[in-house]
Amino acid sequence: MTGRTLAFFVCSPHSRTGVTTAARLLTDYFLSRNADIEGFDTDFRDPLYALFFPERTRVVDLNDVKGQISLFDRLLVADERPKIVDVWHSSYERLFATIAEIGFMEEAQRLGVEPVVLFQTDIAQSAANSALVLKTTWPDLTMSVIHNRGASPLGPHSLAVLARYPASGKFVIPRLEAPIARALDDVDLSLSRFMRAPPPEMSVVVRAALREWLLPIFTQFQSFELRLALQSSQCLR
């Protein structure tokens, strides 16, 4: 990824779709690869994402000009550090309205920053419509969807639901059994460190289940990262 700075917007216009889980997983993926990431939590009322990464994440209020400056000025720094924005559903409209108002996409392209939208799917048609608005407004925007089977199951017609989204790729986060999922609630549990050395006090059953769950997710992120790098190299020819 040399010479490129990725700015990820993990988002959904609806609550309880798994946005923070996806932002956390993406952050831990990069940390597992020793990347120096920078995170932003737009839920200024209950910033859960920031609790998982207190030293790497800042909380921003997009209803405040200072918060907007704190976010967008940093996102436009082309320092090759992945930037990850956990977009609170209540901040969704404000975020993309501000992006349009300030010409963020055009400025990012000029500075060598590549915005990437990771859109969380859900069963509502309005979610897919919101994704379509983004893609229509910015046709060259890199967008992939994330289907969190535990947070937002799509039912028996999942393929038809996913087909509504104008995305170039798809990630799947499998469902976890409740006793295993509860382990993820621990804000002191670093998933990147877990992959190297699981906590010795953790149940061996939980340990095995978490590793089995995490490995394919991290593999999906790695494939996506490599695909972006390949696309970039082709554009430079």
Contact 40, 58 (CB under 8 A): yes
Please tell me whether residue 85 adopts helix, strand or coil conformation: strand
Average pLDDT (160-175) is 96
The answer, yes or no, to whether residue 54 has pLDDT greater than 50, is: yes
Average pLDDT (101-113) is 97
Per the structure block, which two tokens stand in for 113?
């920053």
pLDDT in tens, 194-213: 999 999 999 999 999 999 99
Taking each continuous run of H as one helix and of E as one strand, the counts in the chain are 10, 7
Placement of tokens 């790497």 in the chain: 56
Per the structure block, which two tokens stand in for 146?
């994330």
The answer, yes or no, to whether residue 237 has pLDDT greater than 60, is: no
Per the structure block, which two tokens stand in for 20?
């923070």
Helix or strand run (H / E) with residue 134: helix 125-137
Please tell me whether residue 120 adopts helix, strand or coil conformation: strand
Helix or strand run (H / E) with residue 191: helix 191-196
Sequence spans of domains, the chain: 5-235
The DSSP secondary-structure symbol of 44 reads S
The answer, yes or no, to whether residue 234 has pLDDT greater than 80, is: no
Average pLDDT (39-64) is 98
The whole-number pLDDT of residue 111 equals 96
The whole-number pLDDT of residue 4 equals 85
229 — pLDDT class (breaks 50, 70, 90): confident
Rounded to two decimals, the pTM is 0.96
Helix or strand run (H / E) with residue 63: none
Q: 5-235 has which CATH code?
A: 3.40.50.300
Kindly give the pairing relationship between strand 5-11 and strand 57-59. Answer: unpaired
The whole-number pLDDT of residue 231 equals 79
Q: Report which residue type is found at 125.
A: Q
- CA distances to 9, 58, 72, 139 from 133, in Å: 15, 28, 21, 10
Average pLDDT (116-125) is 98
Average pLDDT (154-174) is 96
The whole-number pLDDT of residue 233 equals 62
Nearest to 83 by CA among 42, 138, 123: 42
Percent of the chain residues past pLDDT 70, beyond the cut = 96
The answer, yes or no, to whether residue 1 has pLDDT greater than 80, is: no
The answer, yes or no, to whether residue 235 has pLDDT greater than 60, is: no
Mean of the per-residue pLDDT values of the chain: 95
The whole-number pLDDT of residue 134 equals 98
Which class for 196: exposed (0-12), middle (13-18), buried (19 or more C-beta within 10 A)?
exposed
The answer, yes or no, to whether residue 36 has pLDDT greater than 90, is: yes
Q: Quote the CA–CA distance of 153 and 59 in Å, as a whole number.
A: 29
